[in-house]
Amino acid sequence: MMPLWKSLTKFGNKLNAQKHNGLLQLYFILGSIILIAFYIIYTNVLLQKAKQDSEFIPRSFAKYIVFIEAQINEAEGNSKLISELFAKYINSLTKDNYEDVLVNYIRDEFIANMKMPVIITDDMQIPLYWKNLDVPEAIQFKDLNTTFQTYILNAMQKMEIIPLIYEGKSVGFVYYRSQSTFQDFVQQVQYPIIVTDEFRKPRYWRNMGILENMSYDNLNDAHKQFISKRMNKMVEFPLETEEKRIGFVYFEESDSLKKIRSLVYVEILLIILFVAFGSYGFLMIKNSEKNTLWVGLAKETAHQFGTPITSLKGWTEYLKMYFEDSPQSEEVSPMLVNIEEDVGHLQKIASRFGKVGSSITLKPTKVQEVIEETVNYFETRLPHFSSRIEITFKPDDYEMKVLMDKELFQWTLENLIKNSIDAMTDKGGEISIAVARHKDNVNISISDQGKGIPKGMVKKIFDPGFTTKTRGWGLGLSLVKRIIEEFHKGSIRVAETSPKGTTFEITLKEFV
């Protein structure tokens, strides 16, 4: 039942990894489609808006032509009314009731037909009638509220005035607003705009964040500098006739055109992000596949170790019983003890391989105890490697603890020590292990006097499958890195390397 359960578990892990990779690929494809669709739609919207904005100048001047024609027609009508007013005034002077005739004409005909703002006053300049002023016309001036009265009096100050004279004495006044100007048209524009004279001196402006009813000469220096700077950034359009230039119009580029210009940079940024996220996604998929491969290989190795280890333990027990009463017992017993230790170590290795890719429990453990056990194990076997190799251990503090899985951490130390021994097999030397506290961390350094690591390979030595040996799978240091960084949340690095030796440094958080 157990082998079947293990097989199903391994199969389930593979399916989960494949499902995870498939989701990453699906997200990448969907993200690409959404990004491209958004870019196409947004670009079309901007182009449509830019097309409308590009017609701003032609549309504005077409409106201005219509505006001017309407103003000319209105001026002709107003001139005719003014002429009629004077004719009526002159004709009325010959009549005894000229005042009534004139008043009736002004009230019933002149005011009614006037299309421009107009105010009729008595000889004391008190308004009697008004038209086109957004003020109620059926109420006498004295009955208006203060706001309307002030409005009419202010309007009179800005209007043209025609006195009504009889026998050298003023009998009333006609106030009317002069013909609409280009400034009136500018007030209808919804874009930031500045109109200047032929010498580029601003005459009036619109949507600039500055009062629009002031003269340029009355502006303070800050506002003048502001307008000057804005003019330097705006598009210039000359106002000219066939005979001469009468001024310039400055207007800003529309927002849609600015966005289209910046869209190129946004596109480059999106492409960079797209490539970066895509590369990252595929790298995750690749790493996930690698991890799945190495985890599967480690578990399969642990599984394969199980049968021969069990068999070796059985044969060891058999040999102990066989030589128990034999004359060679004293000679064979130490050998059997060593065989038992090595079989036990093989069982540990199988257990370590089984833990790779599984969840583990970290426990507070004294660092020096784990290192001493590992060093003692190697010291009894150093003669098999080389009689010229020594291992020294110098702890800074025997009470330093870290959260660790003892078996996996010992495996890490064994791999590093074994690599150091391999590096010194030809010339011998010393392997020194030191433990020191640095702030809240525990630093463990393993130094050898071997041949060092070539500079170009320092960054690759922790990659799965990378090895400089003629034999081996290149799993040792990749497993070391996985154990330290993923399981123990620490770090490992090559602190120093040269032809005189290499130092690996492990950093773990101290348990307090």
Q: Note whether residue 269 is domain-resident.
A: no
Mean pLDDT of 142-148: 91
Answer whether 191's CB lies under 8 Å from 256's CB: no
User: How many structural domains are present in the chain?
Assistant: 3
Pull the structure tokens for residue 15.
Answer: 């399916």
CA distance 142 to 140: 6
Answer whether 385's CB lies under 8 Å from 391's CB: no
Q: pLDDT tens digit string along 302-335?
A: 666 777 777 888 888 888 888 877 777 778 888 8
Who wins on pLDDT, 118 or 222?
Answer: 222
Who wins on pLDDT, 289 or 506?
Answer: 506
Structure confidence at residue 144 as a pLDDT band (50, 70, 90) = very high
The pLDDT score that the predictor gives to residue 241 is 66
Residues 504, 380 share a domain: yes
For the chain, the first-to-last Cα distance in angstroms comes to 44
- Out of 176, 195, 217, pick the residue that ends a domain: 176
Q: pLDDT tens digit string along 18-72?
A: 555 566 667 667 777 777 777 777 776 766 666 666 555 545 554 554 555 455 5
Structure confidence at residue 251 as a pLDDT band (50, 70, 90) = confident
Residues 489, 454 share a domain: yes
Nearest to 463 by CA among 473, 477, 449, 453: 477
179: left (phi over 0), alpha (psi -120 to 50) or beta: beta
pLDDT of 370 over the 80 cut: yes
Q: Which amino acid is at 122?
A: D
Alpha-carbon distances, residue 511 vs 480, 487, 490, 493 (angstroms): 21, 15, 13, 21
The pLDDT score that the predictor gives to residue 441 is 92
Q: pLDDT tens digit string along 395-426?
A: 777 788 999 989 889 989 988 998 888 888 77
CA distance 260 to 210: 28
Q: Note whether residue 408 is domain-resident.
A: yes
Residues 136, 201 share a domain: no
Q: Note whether residue 344 is domain-resident.
A: no
Pairing of β 429-438 and β 389-395: parallel
pLDDT of 197 over the 70 cut: yes
User: Around Cβ 230, how many Cβ atoms within 10 Å?
Assistant: 18
pLDDT of 2 over the 50 cut: no
CA distance 344 to 316: 11
pLDDT of 10 over the 50 cut: no
Quote the mean pLDDT of the chain.
75
Q: Note whether residue 231 is domain-resident.
A: yes
Residues 407, 491 share a domain: yes
The pLDDT score that the predictor gives to residue 16 is 53
Indicate if the alpha-carbon torsion angle 302, 305, 307, 310 is positive or negative. Answer: negative
Structural domain that includes position 191: 182-252
Residues 374, 498 share a domain: yes
The pLDDT score that the predictor gives to residue 260 is 65
Phi, psi (rounded to 5 degrees) for 453: -115, 130
The pLDDT score that the predictor gives to residue 267 is 72
User: Around Cβ 435, how many Cβ atoms within 10 Å?
Assistant: 19
Pull the structure tokens for residue 382.
Answer: 């150093």
The pLDDT score that the predictor gives to residue 93 is 47
Residues 378, 240 share a domain: no
